[in-house]
Amino acid sequence: MSTLITDWRHRPTHKRVWALAAPMILSNLSVPLVTLVDSAVIGHLPHAHQLGAVAVGGSLFTFMVSLMSFLRMGTTGFAAQAAGRRDGNALRQILVQGLGLGLLFSLLLSMLALPFSHLALSFMSPSAALEQATHDFFQTRLLGLPAALASYALIGWFLGTQNARAPLQLLLTTNLVNIALNLWFVLGLDWGVVGSARASVIAEWVGALLGLSLTRPSLRAYPGHLLWTALKAWRNWQPLLGVNRDIFLRSLALSGVFLLITLQGARFGDATVAANALLLNGLLITAYALDGLAHAVEALCGHAIGARDRQTLRRSMVVAFGWSLIASSGFAVLFLLGGHVFVNLQTDIPSVRDAAYPFLPYLAVLPLIAVGSYLLDGLFIGATRAREMRNAMLVSVAVMVPIGWLSAALGNHGLWMSFLLFMALRAATLGWTAWRLQRRDEWVS
């Protein structure tokens, strides 16, 4: 206990954590802000199916893109460890590998996207109006897929080099452009659901091009050369691909859970699927804020592991966990006291509001349950221990799915209880794995 208190009182660690976390929290919060604006703009159109289309179509697109989250997470860990070793050649190699994989996977996903969307919508059995509007939204969003994946790789690389300002510039620019164009296209030009999708596509390409231009200052800070012969050797791709494979499987399981929530909610009616989407926007706000601290953990812990510095590794975790617990408690109070206002700001459709109000207590509890998994994800990503992350996620899903199936008779309450259980299992399985590695002194070695 005395060691934990000493670590918490180490002011230089607080400064290093917040130097990375503060810009990432600001940039991360702009991401759910876009979703909130999308929901608010579409939510004030006359029909519930329009809001439902943005919710379902956005979930389908997010599901596909989130499967590629390994492009960010895998890149961060390797870049952080290379920065800890001051290896400029490796940093350039990782950047090119991440961008190349982003382009490749955007082409593969584009070929699978339309059959996937048809299959998902057939499972939902939506109304004809909801189905058509969802197809229009989703097909338009696909035009921004290459840019979205390139931004993933760029943000991961920037974080690995402990450059939090570049992701802040990239994400804020992307999301501010998205908000401005959304208001113009939907309300000004009356393009409806398709206008919202077009705004997102343009914003994603603006952000990706800006990110590419911001790599030059970071590269100058780590002198080196890009060795093209190294890129041609399969052995130099194996570590990154191995980590990316495991993170992909982990992300596939996680995204599947969120997609199942959307699809199952849609079976309860258009109002319920829209209400759940609005409530999950609250989770997005919480997650993106806490992820700012998790990103700091990724960069600091990865750098400490690269430099073989056990003390910095431990201090970074203690300080980041303390601040994460404070932040999650604040969000819990916010949703408990202001949940109705949060819903009302997003829509004035009476049926959607009435469907959302009974489930606000679940949203209030969620930050306290989820905080552990967010922070531990950062530790495992910085250490490039993707296999352990994958196994913990698969165990959590395997336990949650049958319980979720049994609780289906409770309707949307059963759906939310299953989701809370899943988030608790994520934290518990990762915590147990981290404790085992610590006991064996395997984090640095």
**How open is the CA angle 439-325-297, to the nearest 5 degrees?**
55
Q: What is the pTM of this model?
A: 0.73
**How much of the chain exceeds pLDDT 90, in percent?**
18
3-state class (DSSP) for residue 345: helix
pLDDT digits (tens, 9 = 90+) for 370-396: 888 988 998 998 888 889 999 999 999
pLDDT digits (tens, 9 = 90+) for 170-197: 988 988 898 888 888 877 787 877 888 8
Q: Range with the lowest mean pLDDT among 259-263, 360-364, 384-388, 436-440?
A: 259-263
Q: What is the mean pLDDT of residues 119-147?
A: 76
**CB contact at 8 A, 322 and 9:** no
User: What pLDDT does 332 receive?
Assistant: 93
Q: Which amino acid is at 317?
A: M
3-state class (DSSP) for residue 335: helix
- Say whether pLDDT at 306 is over 80: no
CA distance 360 to 351: 15
User: What pLDDT does 134 receive?
Assistant: 77
User: What pLDDT does 376 receive?
Assistant: 92
Q: Comparing C-alpha atoms, which of 260, 268, 140, 113 is closest to residue 199?
A: 140
CB atoms near residue 96 (< 10 Å): 15
For the CA atoms of 410, 416, 419, 424, what is the dihedral angle to 10 degrees?
-100
Q: Comparing C-alpha atoms, which of 155, 159, 165 is closest to residue 80?
A: 159
Mean pLDDT in the chain? 83
pLDDT band at 205 (very low <50, low <70, confident <90, very high): very high
CA distance 245 to 386: 8
CB burial of residue 211 (10 Å; 0-12, 13-18, 19+) = buried
CA distance 219 to 102: 20
CA distance 265 to 408: 11
CA distance 377 to 393: 11
CA distance 293 to 240: 24
User: What pLDDT does 7 receive?
Assistant: 81
- Say whether pLDDT at 319 is over 70: yes
What are the CA-CA distances from residue 330 to residues 58, 171, 336 (Å)? 28, 24, 10
pLDDT band at 1 (very low <50, low <70, confident <90, very high): low
pLDDT band at 246 (very low <50, low <70, confident <90, very high): very high
Question: Quick one: CA dihedral 1, 444, 391, 97, positive or negative?
Answer: positive
pLDDT band at 369 (very low <50, low <70, confident <90, very high): very high
Question: Quick one: CA dihedral 59, 27, 250, 317, positive or negative?
Answer: negative
pLDDT digits (tens, 9 = 90+) for 34-69: 666 666 777 666 566 666 667 777 777 877 787 787
